[in-house]
Structure formats: C-alpha cells, structure tokens
Amino acid sequence: MTPPLDAALVQQVLDRFNLAAASPTPDFLAALLEAYAQTVPWESAFRMVKRAQCGGDTAVCPRWPAEFWQDHLQRGGGGTCFESNYA
C-alpha cells in the first residue's frame, strides 16, 4: 500500500488549487475535482522521461503520488489517467 501524502504536501496542493482544507463533503469534492481539472495538465512527458531513466521498465520505476505532486508543484507536470487517479 502506498503511504498517504504528508500534511505539508497536501497543504501545498490545496494552496495551488486555492482551496482550504475541509471535510470531504460533496461540495468540497466537487471544488477539488474542478480545481484539479483546471490546474493539472493531461500529459505524458514526465512519465516518458522517468521511464527512459529506468530503462523502460515501469514496474521498477512507478511515479508515486508524492512524486506526481512534486513534479506538478515544482515544474508544472501532470499525468495520464493512471498517475492522476493514483495521485
């Protein structure tokens, strides 16, 4: 099982989305999804670079959620459905 994101990283993501932490109500989840869809790009370049660095074997070099969010926050990265859903 993948460990949860640490609280500081969660706060950075919420700050990027201009959202305050809240209980997972339907309204908050809708706002979170809307902010995600408008902010995080749909792209595969970051995944392709990582795959190339690992010799092409994604089984030995997955892009875990913390890395996904760091890539987004620091360099504007995004992901495809697998990475996005997992993050």
Q: How remote is the C-alpha of 85 from its chain's centroid?
A: 8
Per-residue pLDDT at 42 = 92
Looking at residue 48, what is its pLDDT? 86
pLDDT tens profile 26-79: 999 999 999 999 999 999 888 888 888 888 777 778 888 999 999 999 999 998
**Residue 81 neighbours by CB distance under 10 Å:** 8
Q: In the prediction, which pLDDT does 71 show?
A: 93
**pLDDT of 15 higher than 90:** yes
Location of structure tokens 């700050």: 15
Asked if 46 contacts 56 with a C-beta cutoff of 8 angstroms, the reply is: no
As a whole number of angstroms, the distance between CA 77 and CA 2 comes to 21
Which are the contacts of 65, defined by CB distance < 8 A and separation ≥ 6? 2, 5, 86, 87
Contact between 79 and 44 under an 8 Å Cβ cutoff? The reply is yes
**Res. 17 pLDDT band, cuts 50 70 90:** very high
